[in-house]
A and B are shown apart, each in its own frame.
Chain A
Amino acid sequence: GENVEQHPSTLSVQEGDSAVIKCTYSDSASNYFPWYKQELGKRPQLIIDIRSNVGEKKDQRIAVTLNKTAKHFSLHITETQPEDSAVYFCAALTSGTYKYIFGTGTRLKVLA
């Protein structure tokens, strides 16, 4: 069945450094890729998304890249801050369906 693999499961970076989280999806018909940030005990919140007709999207310190050929997409956070510490989830949606497939999450720790 459909699957999204997410790596790494944990990531520690020094404040000010960059962080990269990678996801690989299995369904070549996937055409929408959101990223969510979840703080402890709270709801996942959408931070950025990308559609399959776009290769890269940026919003201030956050960017997402998509490689459709390799079926990879990645989240890039630059100039990390302690408040970026959270669990990040990637997801993939297949065209014409309502079902999102989520990765298993990456716990990001930004060390001050």
Chain B
Amino acid sequence: DGGITQSPKYLFRKEGQNVTLSCEQNLNHDAMYWYRQDPGQGLRLIYYSQIVNDFQKGDIAEGYSVSREKKESFPLTVTSAQKNPTAFYLCASRLGQGVLPQHFGDGTRLSIL
């Protein structure tokens, strides 16, 4: 799905540092999501946003923050409060309401230095 761009592809975080993962979509999708994926595990929802200037916590929101100032952008900040941030982070989006699929970006792999 070339319409969802995540950057960077790889990111390293130092102790006590906040880092921000970018997610941009040009699909005109209303809803956007952030998931965390650990090795051998499924996708766990961090945050999601249905419309601009609104977002909801998912199942593992602690240590993370988001913003949705523009429809096409949904950045995720991994704060220093997240003690185990090493994981593969996936952004997804969906058009509107109803029974529709999500489409995913290529992911960002975050590691601790």
Contact = CB atoms under 8 A, between A and B. Distances in A.
A44 B42 contact: no
B99 A93 contact: yes
A14 to B, nearest CB: 24
B99 A103 contact: no
B94 to A, nearest CB: 7
Contacts of A45: 1, 104
Range of interface residues on chain B? 20 to 34
A6 B42 CA distance: 10
B72 interface: no
Given A43-B1, A43-B107, A105 B102 contact: no
A89 interface: yes
Interface string A23-46: 000000001101010000111111
Interface residues of A, number: 24
Given A32-B99, A43-B90, A44-B43, A98 B106 contact: no
A99 B102 CA distance: 10
Contacts of A42: 106-107
A46 B101 contact: yes
B74 interface: no
A51 interface: yes
